[in-house]
Structure formats: structure tokens, C-alpha cells
Amino acid sequence: MTLKEKIAEKAKPVEIALAKYLKIREPQKLYKATAHIPMAGGKRLRPVMALITCEMVGGNSNKAIPFAAALEAIHNFTLVHDDVMDDDDLRHGVAACHTIYGLSTAILAGDTLFSYAFEMITDCEVSSDIKSDLVQNVAYTVRKIAEGQQMDLDFEERETVAPAEYLEMVRLKTSILFGSAAYGGARIGGADARKALELRQMAIEVGLGFQ
């Protein structure tokens, strides 16, 4: 089995969870737009990172599935809004959400994915203290992603960008969500905050390499 196949196999429970959460309901246009990009497929690297780190610290990764699905919702929320900002027509070979459902509905779809993520986190079978920690961590992460996106937009108006600035933009826009995945997975698995932060930093470095 190739690495790609192993990742896909690991992600199967997350695929099932996403299909459940993102089922089509009224108003159908909104929920079809919401499901459009996430259900079109993807590598699911961030959810898999959460499941693996949960297991690394001795936890049951089944408990981390709602959190893993939440991360995929967050990731896809950023993609939908990114395509709107960049006016891109395609996302990994799939028509961008706004090209099918319109600009306004695409923005609402991104907002819906963002909201869904926190609903998913509340479904995690963990203590209220851990659940609060997960919510705080993900909220912080999304704010940092926004900072990275703004840096990316600002760079488009500049003639030069220093390597350190570029790496910081990548860390915020991409890598930090890998870090959130590892942190949350570890906390769900029973790790203390110190150990979870160590794994978070490891995953941020992985995210930099991925980008």
C-alpha cells in the first residue's frame, strides 16, 4: 500500500463524518454550495494528522473524528473564501464554489463551514475543559490564518518580499492548521498541554515542508 493509499484509508472515518455533517438541507442552494468543495475530495492531511497524534499519545483516534472533520471544514472554508478573493475559477481541477453558486452564496458557504467546525468540536467525547481548549485553539488558529492571508494579499502589492516574511506568511496561512491538528489530536488522546504544544510545533514544521 502506498503512502497516499494509507492516508486515504486513515481518512475514511472522516469522510463518513463529513458526509453526515454536510448533508443537503434547506435552503438547498446554500448547503449544496457548502458541500461542494469539501465533498469533491482532497488529501485530508490535517484530519489525518489529528488522528495520528491522538494515537501517538496512546489515545483512541475514534474520539478525535469530530475534531478531525472540524479541521477539514476550517480548511475548506479558507479555500472557498480564498477563491473568492483571488477570483480563481478552479480548485484542484474542480470548479470554484462561486463560479457555480455565485459570489454571495459562496461567501455564505464559507461562513457555514466555519460555523460547522465548532459544532463538530462540541461532538467530541472529551471533558468540558478539553473541549474548551480545542475551541480556543481552533479559534486562535483561524485568526492567525486570516493574518497570513492578509500578508499574502499585501505581498501582491510589493515588488520584493524577504524570505523570512514569506516563510512567516506560509506558517500562518498553511502550517498553523497542521499545528492545530496535532495539538487537538494530542489533547483528545490524553496528552497534557506541554506535550501537545511540542507536537503542535512538530506539525507546523511538517506543514512548512508540505507547502
Does the pTM exceed 0.85? yes
> What backbone torsions phi and psi does residue 97 show, to the nearest 5 degrees?
-55, -45
Which residue, chain included where needed, has cell 495539538? Answer: 183
What single-letter DSSP state applies at residue 126? Answer: S
- Tell me, rounded to whole angstroms, the distance of Cα 15 from its chain centroid: 14
Pairing of strands 94-95, 90-91: antiparallel
Of 56-65, 157-166, 202-211, the one with minimum mean pLDDT is 202-211
The values of phi and psi at residue 24, to 5°, are -80, 130
Distances (CA, A) of 130 to 63, 136, 187: 12, 10, 7
Average pLDDT, the chain: 95
pLDDT at 93 over 90: no
**42 Rama sector, left if φ>0, alpha if ψ -120 to 50, beta otherwise:** left
Contacts of 129 (CB under 8 A, 6+ apart): none
Q: What is the pLDDT of residues 65-74, one digit of tens each?
A: 999 999 999 9
Band of residue 39 on the pLDDT scale cut at 50, 70, 90: very high
Prior bond of 27 cis (ω within 30°): yes
87: alpha, beta or left? (left if phi > 0; alpha if psi -120 to 50): left
Give yes or no for residue 191 having a pLDDT over 90: yes
35: amino acid identity, one letter: A
* Confidence band, pLDDT 50/70/90 cuts, at residue 82: very high
Mean pLDDT of 94-123: 96
Q: Give the Cα separation of 119 and 177 in Å (integer).
A: 18
Position 210 pLDDT exceeds 80: no
Please give the angle made by the CA atoms of 173, 176 and 180, to the nearest 5 degrees: 140
Q: What's residue 42's pLDDT? A: 85
Please give the single-letter amino acid code of residue 72: E
pLDDT at 211 over 80: no
Q: What whole-number distance in Å separates Cα of residue 24 and Cα of residue 37?
A: 14
CA dist., res. 32 & res. 42, Å (int): 17
